[in-house]
A and B are shown apart, each in its own frame.
Chain A
Amino acid sequence: MIFWTTLLVIHGLFALALLGAITHQSAALWWSVRDRAGSFVARFRAVPGTPYVTAIILLYVITFILGAWIYTQYRFTARVALEQLRFFRTVGVFELKEHLATIGSIVLPAYWTYWRQPLTQDYANARRHVSLLLAILVWCNFQIGHVVNNARGMGS
């Protein structure tokens, strides 16, 4: 069980890094400011989005693979316990997570395409929307994972 708990913690850490990167990029896209100087929030909004792209794709893929691996253990241990405890909503919301994670992974090729260098103005809107969609998916999955882990996490 220590192995799976460690893997879950690593998955969580990658997810946290991904959440930070995609939130940073989306905030800079949708709520941008030109002047870097000023408050912490203004600096947060003023970052260029391009350097985050490769990191976001890599973090998503690693987090996805780790999550898919841990899922095998969850399926016949934690989930069985959740069902016995009649936590059907928690189980149901985790079913949603697997589909949201899949949607996120199939958005990645389009995300990479729209962020390819040199950035074209033709894809400016598509870039904003795809990045926001990915951010929403990552946020949803992070929250769901957190809720399920708190309900009856690995190793509990």
Chain B
Amino acid sequence: MNSSDKIPVFALVFGIAYAVIYVICTELNLPLLTYNPAIVEVGILWQPLKSGPAMYWYGWMLTSALGALAVAFIAIAIPEPWLQRLITFGCVAATAYLVLYTLALFIYDNATVELGFLQSRWLSAAAAVVVAAILSALVPS
């Protein structure tokens, strides 16, 4: 990969990685900082409510930006076939997680017996990783 190819790769991977990390940050509430607007106070990582509401959005963006920068720098350092496979893996994993978790919740809602384990995000995430690993291995490089 020459230097002119690295800029589009960096920009594209940064965007994709940011989106994925941002979703994880919002779902699991992983801010790098918490802002309390009523008392104008910034706290490191997640902070509980103090006086008035706490804002985590800035923290989520910061976490995502740092994570995406790291992923983008790795992306321009590794060979392109690996990168293609990783992008395929990431996209398939994200789609598979969405489909599987939606399906699991649909089954949970309509089942006549209690299937509490279907509510676990980790189960759907693990299944999505397996699906993504199989599919990205099958895709020709």
Size category of the A interface is 20 to 34
Q: Is the interface of A mostly helix, strand, loop or mixed?
A: helix
Q: A73-B37, A76-B37, A102-B61 are in contact. Are A110 and B53 (CB under 8 A)?
A: no
Q: What is the bound-complex CA distance between A110 and B13, given in angstroms?
A: 9
Q: Which of B15-23, B86-94, B102-110, B117-125 contacts A (4 or more CB under 8 A)?
A: B15-23
Write the A63-90 contact mask toward B (1 if CB under 8 angstroms, else 0).
0000010011101100110000000000
Q: A72-B35, A76-B52 are in contact. Are A113 and B19 (CB under 8 A)?
A: no
Q: What is the bound-complex CA distance between A103 and B26, given in angstroms?
A: 13
Q: Is the interface of B mostly helix, strand, loop or mixed?
A: helix
Q: Which residues of B contact A80 (CB under 8 A)?
A: 53
Q: Are A110 and B37 in contact, with the CB atoms below 8 A?
A: no
Give the A-binding residues of B (Cβ under 8 A).
7-8, 10-12, 14-15, 18-19, 22, 26, 35, 37-38, 52-53, 55, 57-58, 61, 64, 68
Does A107 lie at the interface of the complex (its beta carbon under 8 Å from any beta carbon of B)?
A: yes
Q: Which residues of B contact A71 (CB under 8 A)?
A: 55, 57
Give the B-binding residues of A (Cβ under 8 A).
68, 71-73, 75-76, 79-80, 98-99, 102-103, 106-107, 109-110, 112-114, 116, 123
Q: Are A103 and B19 in contact, with the CB atoms below 8 A?
A: yes
